[in-house]
Amino acid sequence: MEHIGLNVLREIIYMSPHSVLADPAKQKEREERIRIAKEKAAGDRQKKLEELRDAQKRSEDFRKKQEEDRRRKLLESRKRDEEHRHTVEERRQRLLLEENVSQLHHFSKFSTFEYMY
């Protein structure tokens, strides 16, 4: 499709219909220019719609990726927190056990001492 300049469009718009009606060749040429201009405008609108749809899809994909990243980071953070709590609890249990063993050992020394005398 040939490129239609602004001057051609102005000529089509401002051309007197009376001068066109006098010459059938000019009338046909005018109708052809109008048809081409309408087709180009429709093509431009279609292209713009496709660009807008593409931009909307890219934006939606970006939002989805951000949401997935946010959820993944949240799950990773929860997992790290849970692992840390588990480690702290294991350490606490081990320290309690060591303390109990130490106390038992301490008491057992005194108990055996009493029985010895």
Per residue in 1-15, pLDDT tens? Answer: 455 566 666 666 666
17-50 burial, b at 16+ Cβ within 10 Å, e below that, comes to eeebeeeeeeeeebeebeebeeeeeeeeeeeeee
Provide the 8-state DSSP code for 4.
P
Say what the pLDDT of residue 2 is. 52
| pLDDT tops 70 at residue 114 | no
- Name the least confident of 19-23, 37-41, 51-55, 84-88: 19-23
In this prediction the pTM is 0.51
Domain ranges of the chain: 6-92
Question: The tokens 């431009």 sit on which residue?
Answer: 44
Between CA 4 and CA 11 the distance in angstroms is 11
